[in-house]
Structure 1
Amino acid sequence: MASRRISPQTLEELRHRVDLPGLISRHVALTPSGKEFRGRCPFHEERTPSFFVVPEKGFFFCHGCRARGDAVDFLRRMLGLSFGDAVRELAREVGLPVSESEASAADSSQRLRDVTRLAQEHFQALLWSSEGASTRAYLEARGVTEETARAFGLGWAPEAWDRLAERLERAGLREAGLETGLVQPRKKGAGCYDFFRGRVMLPLRSPDGRPLGFGGRLMSGGAGGPKYLNSKDSPLYHKADTLFGMDLARAEIRRLHRAVLVEGYFDCVLLHQVGVRHAVALCSTHLTPGHLQVLARAEARELVLLLDGDAAGLAAVERLSGPLLAAGVATYVALLPQGEDPDTFALREGGAGVSRLLEDARPLTRHLFTTVLPEGREASFEAKMLALGRLRDVVAKIPPGLMRTAFLDALSAHVGLPSAELEGVLAGPRAPAPAAVATTRAPVAPTSPVSPPVGTPEATVAQAPSPPPAVGTPAERGVDALEARAVACVLRNPSVRDQDAFGALEHLQEAGLRMALGAASTGGLKATGVVARALAGATRTLPTEEDALVKVFRVTCCELSLRRLDAELAKLAELTRDPRPSGAILARLSQRSELLALRHRVRQVLQSLR
């Protein structure tokens, strides 16, 4: 329920009816102190009580951490609820009637919660039944104990097509099941089938522990599909606002004022198991302003990135850097040994080993600079230009202001180039890159006030090589990274080719890539040498989720199309300088308006994808 739907009269009546000391005493031991109540603040650690509740004025206040607010503010902060959820919870307790529109929204939301809770109970019951023996053995093989599995609410979705669908039908929740995406309508005939089949189920929960959606890890020999499959966004679940494990990590994050961010669900599960209980995981490949707000509500003042110790993990740090720097979040990077995953490292080294790793984490900017340009000022000009190319996407996400200036000053000190010149190189308009030079950009999180559109003009680097891919292993020199990524997407899933709305694949410059693309329909990869290696590198950067793969492909095709159109428009601009244009030139110039219109449509599609 959005706050704008709640009238000021409703809020005032709610604050009047709520017994504020009674509400807060459920979470804090309060003692009378005159007309007030006093206790230890639940939002920071303290030995001497400095938290006061003032019933007459209807607010609480902490002299230590300066937290203050009314009943709604307390519930939001204590349980990590949205404004609407906190109001709805309190209104239900005090029996406050709401308007018809508010009641309708609340009823609809409740049905979605009911169906998601029922699904969680269904998956959990199956895991701990005799049918779930093989799944329990799989979890045990991964090192997950029963206690941990139950704490995280793990479950199992059998390979049967309609076990959950039948249960929802009996409960009268079929429509809510469709709305949350837990079941899908059959293409032929009546009825529905289960969206998750043959998977270990991990509930994606709100900070107060309510199930919102699910992540499903494919079991070997299961129903097929990507390794991980997530619930689709629904009125209840938004992956851009959800962090896996936050319900279990919130108290420890609030105590330490620090959170550990990983990319894998089982990384988070096993870190908690060894005692690193302030770990959370992304439910997608992007870090969004919504995620940062969830962390801020949990009082996280520092964030440590603990990602896989391979090229993909290192690239992920670059991908996450822009939003973090733009938001001004104090961020550190903990480096795992090469080839290690957080879960395997935690099992082998235990909580003490992970703690040592976290203690040695280095600031994000220092990690970025030493990763992209280890030699610093002593590096060659070409190496510096390539390093700046890798940082262009990072800088593009930092809005003008103090954070951007500080970042460029620090970068200037590392590379030995004037910060004013760096600003022009990293933020100026970018000329179309030649087809034979590697240049690409990774898909980014949706734009917001914290993370501005990445489509802002970028730099023209004079006499310098164009930048390598911002994410993953760079394509071989001489093989265009954007083209390699587009073809790699088709080789991974040939059906994505239908999403090439502007015919980007029809204009590939690399003959080897065109040959590999032609072999996609037969399932054989005919590329050799540098083309094969470029495709292999691009494939390693692709997401495993089908929806994410389609988005990457569409973004890549749009960027290829924009690059081609920019190049054609640049050629036409050169032709306009001819004082006596021929008929052929005039005919070509007449195409300019059509190219501009097409370019506008491509940019609109690209912006919608971001």
Structure 2
Amino acid sequence: MIPEHKIQEVLDRVDIVSLVSRHVELKKAGREFKGRCPFHQEKTPSFYVVPEKRFYFCHGCRASGDAVSFIQRYLGKTFQDAVRDLAQEVGIDLEAAQDPGLKERQQVKEATDFAAEHFRGLLWHEDEGRAARAYLASRGVSEEVAQGFGLGWAPAQWSLLADRFQKNGMLEWGLKAGLITKRNSGDGCIDFFRSRLMVPIRAPEGRPIAFGGRLVAAEDGPKYLNSRESRLYNKSETLFGMDQARDDIHKRKTAVLVEGYFDCIGLHQVGVRNAVALCSTNLTAGHLQVLKRAEARDLVLLLDGDSAGLAAVERLAGPLLAAGAPTRVALLPQGDDPDVFARREGTDGVERLLEGAQPLTAYLFATLLPAGKQASFEEKMSALERLKPVTSQVPPGLTRSALISALAGHFGWMPAQIESSLQYKPPPTPKPAVSSPYPNAVPAQAVPRPVPKPQAERPPPESEALYVAAILRDSRLLARDTFRVCDELSHMGLRMVLAQTTSGQGLEEALFEASEVVKRTLLEAGRRLSPAGMELEAEFILACRDIMKKRIDERLVYIKRATEQTQGAFDLTEETRLLLSERKELLALRKRVLDELTPASSATGTKGPMQPV
């Protein structure tokens, strides 16, 4: 947990104009700087950086925030990694303030970087990499694409990498990274990957964090071998190819999800560059958060058109439906996999297949019970049996109710009959011995209290505490954050809690690591919220409105003070004209916020509750 005062110190020392200028061409406009927004396509610059306030703001897409949120949004990094990178850049030592594993994390990073260069050099070595290059050619992977993905080669030698680690004083680092292992007998170490085409698994910004190895020119061992998890690599939060796909996902607002490394590489080879792949068989909330940070509003599953493809859809459907993620399914012809199909049909063929993708629920219903209402009783019960693992992952609430209603319409049964047949058993409710608004929270008296900080911590604003407490209770509410209020939170303690819970670390761990002030404020806010459903959603929307209104009003007050000395229209400077223009846009935004962020229960014609896929 990075202390709030350290995060604030980072923000105070970062030159936000210099930071943003690395990625956006900025021109001075009075006291501010402006340019074309990096978060949406535009011809006329509407993106402003305000050094005095240390924040950025776009009048077009309404993206806004500080230096940390810019790094998060532009590079797709987590909150913690963004703070760490900026701290290192401005010379602030977070090691003493962070967990004791930070040093190990850095060692694993350096060992992984070293290994990536080692493997890459061997692939393009004239003799050493010949077998691997032949395999790439057989799969239609060009040298340019192979270079782009950083592919490499691990020869059959037992200790080539281990010896290089030893020579460079990095042997322990290589062991921590899982790249080498100790010999079963005798001294020394051997390489973990041998006779394998190496596929670096990289973070969204492009740094290698792990590897997948495909066996080539050998028969001893599994076809694929993957790095174990480490302080650097968590497969439940990592999507292969995200570093290559991020920009295209951002532009197209759509991501194509496949199951294999070479399926993803094959799609990129033909120009479908918004494709990513799972690093495991399971899809998690952490994966969906990675896609959300890349602003993917639509997800297309591109899977094999056989029984394995259908099984994959059923396996992935549960978390997708639970998260309310808009998803479609595109199935390949029997016997094809994505990279084979892409080589044969090219970009146009893949795009046609993706355009014809079916909504996830429609695909599931039609596949599991093609005859619908006309099916026999036995067929309906068999289909429901197949659906149990899917529906069991969708908790009680609006999404589950809508899903059960849709199933009832397809089956021709009453919703109560469907629910009864599925035999869903909600998780047991904890004993109400401790007063806590969160069903899974550790009792307050059972949580060890951290060492008090020397300075008094600023309590979070009320509306921000309600916003975070509502998401802790139901993470699907993030889908209703249409104005990205998550980027507007001013309290760093709340931002840390939100970042941890949405990255899959869990509510208990987030509350355990939070300061007493943040913990107490969140518990008090939680007691004020409704348990679930439309009431909770309405309270969340009102919190969003309050936060946005406050941010806009603060900016309007600044503009008023900066322009109130103007005598008349002929005395306007360029800076004043820009500020008055911004004031007009802010007033329009304020009206939009007040109009759109109105709970469905209190206005007619507003957005209703969250809908299922």
Q: TM-score of the superposition, structure 1-length normalised?
A: 0.69
Question: What's 1:217 paired with?
Answer: 214
TM-fit CA distance, 1:179: 1.1
Distance 2:413 2:99 in 1: 61
Residue pair 1:289, 1:451 contacting (<8 A) in 2 also: no
TM-fit CA distance, 1:429: 5.7
Matched, 1:62 2:62: no
- Amino acid of the structure 1 residue aligned with 2:210: G
- Amino acid of the structure 1 residue aligned with 2:287: H
TM-fit CA distance, 1:82: 1.9
Residue pair 2:95, 2:103 contacting (<8 A) in 1 also: no
- Amino acid of the structure 2 residue aligned with 1:401: G
Secondary structure class of the residue paired with 2:119: helix
Question: What's 2:38 paired with?
Answer: 42
Distance 2:473 2:410 in 1: 29
Q: 2:16 aligns with which of 15, 20, 29?
A: 20
Count of residue pairs the alignment pairs up: 430
Please list every run of 5 or more consecutive structure 2 residues that lacks an aligned counterpart in the other structure: 427-471, 477-613
Residue pair 2:104, 2:231 contacting (<8 A) in 1 also: no
Question: What's 2:610 paired with?
Answer: none
- Amino acid of the structure 1 residue aligned with 2:376: S
- Amino acid of the structure 2 residue aligned with 1:295: L
Distance 1:220 1:372 in 2: 41
Distance 1:173 1:313 in 2: 42
Matched, 1:425 2:425: no
Question: What's 1:200 paired with?
Answer: 197
Secondary structure class of the residue paired with 1:290: helix
Question: What's 2:171 paired with?
Answer: 174
Q: 1:143 aligns with which of 115, 133, 140?
A: 140
TM-fit CA distance, 1:100: 2.2
Residue pair 2:309, 2:331 contacting (<8 A) in 1 also: no
- Amino acid of the structure 1 residue aligned with 2:391: V
Distance 1:287 1:253 in 2: 18
Question: What's 1:302 paired with?
Answer: 298
Task: State the Cα deviation string for residues 454-512 of structure 1 (Å, max 9, x = none).
Answer: xxxxxxxxxxxxxxxxxxxxxxxxxxxxxxxxxxxxxxxxxxxxxxxxxxxxxxxxxxx
Q: 1:252 aligns with which of 239, 243, 248?
A: 248
Secondary structure class of the residue paired with 1:399: coil
Residue pair 2:84, 2:94 contacting (<8 A) in 1 also: no
Secondary structure class of the residue paired with 1:203: strand
- Amino acid of the structure 1 residue aligned with 2:165: L
Distance of aligned partners of 1:17 and 1:273 in 2 relative to their CA distance in 1, 3 Å threshold: same
Residues 54-63 or 236-245, more deviating = 54-63
TM-fit CA distance, 1:451: 10
Q: 2:160 aligns with which of 163, 167, 174?
A: 163
Distance of aligned partners of 1:417 and 1:14 in 2 relative to their CA distance in 1, 3 Å threshold: same
Question: What's 2:462 paired with?
Answer: none
Question: What's 1:455 paired with?
Answer: none
Question: What's 1:385 paired with?
Answer: 381
Secondary structure class of the residue paired with 1:333: strand
Residue pair 2:48, 2:58 contacting (<8 A) in 1 also: yes
- Amino acid of the structure 2 residue aligned with 1:183: I
Question: What's 1:269 paired with?
Answer: 265
Distance 1:273 1:131 in 2: 25
TM-fit CA distance, 1:298: 0.5
Distance 1:261 1:16 in 2: 39
Distance 1:361 1:103 in 2: 45
Question: What's 2:121 paired with?
Answer: 125
Distance 1:397 1:105 in 2: 33
Question: What's 2:26 paired with?
Answer: 30
TM-fit CA distance, 1:67: 1.7
Question: What's 1:368 paired with?
Answer: 364
- Amino acid of the structure 1 residue aligned with 2:113: R
Residue pair 2:210, 2:227 contacting (<8 A) in 1 also: yes
Secondary structure class of the residue paired with 1:100: coil
TM-fit CA distance, 1:315: 0.8
- Amino acid of the structure 2 residue aligned with 1:354: V
Distance 2:42 2:413 in 1: 47
TM-fit CA distance, 1:231: 0.3
Residue pair 1:323, 1:450 contacting (<8 A) in 2 also: no
Distance 2:396 2:252 in 1: 31
Which gives a bigger RCO, structure 1 or 2 (Cα 8 Å, sep 6+)? 2
Distance 2:410 2:99 in 1: 58
Task: State the Cα deviation string for residues 408-454 of structure 1 (Å, max 9, x = none).
Answer: 11111111111122112113469xxxxxxxxxxxxxxxxx98899xx
Distance 2:95 2:190 in 1: 36
Residue pair 1:289, 1:450 contacting (<8 A) in 2 also: no
TM-fit CA distance, 1:172: 1.2
Please list every run of 5 or more consecutive structure 1 residues that lacks an aligned counterpart in the other structure: 431-447, 453-610
4+ residue runs of structure 1 moved beyond 3 angstroms? 101-107, 427-430, 448-452
Q: 2:355 aligns with which of 334, 359, 384?
A: 359
Residue pair 2:258, 2:301 contacting (<8 A) in 1 also: yes
Q: TM-score of the superposition, structure 2-length normalised?
A: 0.68
TM-fit CA distance, 1:104: 5.6
Distance 2:474 2:381 in 1: 27
Distance 1:429 1:85 in 2: 38
Q: 2:73 aligns with which of 57, 67, 77?
A: 77
TM-fit CA distance, 1:66: 2.2
Alignment RMSD (CA, Å): 1.8
Residue pair 2:95, 2:102 contacting (<8 A) in 1 also: no
Distance of aligned partners of 1:336 and 1:11 in 2 relative to their CA distance in 1, 3 Å threshold: same
- Amino acid of the structure 1 residue aligned with 2:306: D
Distance 1:8 1:301 in 2: 32
TM-fit CA distance, 1:16: 1.3
Distance of aligned partners of 1:128 and 1:39 in 2 relative to their CA distance in 1, 3 Å threshold: same
Distance of aligned partners of 1:450 and 1:172 in 2 relative to their CA distance in 1, 3 Å threshold: farther
Distance 1:173 1:65 in 2: 47
Residue pair 1:326, 1:450 contacting (<8 A) in 2 also: no
TM-fit CA distance, 1:236: 0.9
Matched, 1:53 2:49: yes
Task: State the Cα deviation string for residues 264-318 of structure 1 (Å, max 9, x = none).
Answer: 1100001001000000000110001111111111111110000111110111001
Distance 1:21 1:105 in 2: 32
Distance 1:338 1:98 in 2: 53
Distance of aligned partners of 1:429 and 1:252 in 2 relative to their CA distance in 1, 3 Å threshold: closer
Question: What's 1:111 paired with?
Answer: 107
Residue pair 2:392, 2:424 contacting (<8 A) in 1 also: no
Question: What's 2:498 paired with?
Answer: none
Matched, 1:322 2:318: yes
Distance 2:99 2:361 in 1: 49
TM-fit CA distance, 1:101: 4.5
Question: What's 2:150 paired with?
Answer: 153
Secondary structure class of the residue paired with 2:128: helix
Question: What's 1:399 paired with?
Answer: 395
Distance of aligned partners of 1:262 and 1:450 in 2 relative to their CA distance in 1, 3 Å threshold: farther
- Amino acid of the structure 1 residue aligned with 2:154: A
Residue pair 1:181, 1:195 contacting (<8 A) in 2 also: yes
Distance of aligned partners of 1:186 and 1:449 in 2 relative to their CA distance in 1, 3 Å threshold: farther
Distance 2:425 2:267 in 1: 44
Distance 1:397 1:450 in 2: 14
Residue pair 1:258, 1:301 contacting (<8 A) in 2 also: yes
Task: State the Cα deviation string for residues 213-262 of structure 1 (Å, max 9, x = none).
Answer: 0000111424x211111000111111111111000000000001110000
Distance 1:137 1:200 in 2: 11
Distance 1:412 1:291 in 2: 30
Residue pair 2:298, 2:325 contacting (<8 A) in 1 also: yes
Secondary structure class of the residue paired with 1:85: helix
Question: What's 1:183 paired with?
Answer: 180
Distance of aligned partners of 1:271 and 1:133 in 2 relative to their CA distance in 1, 3 Å threshold: same
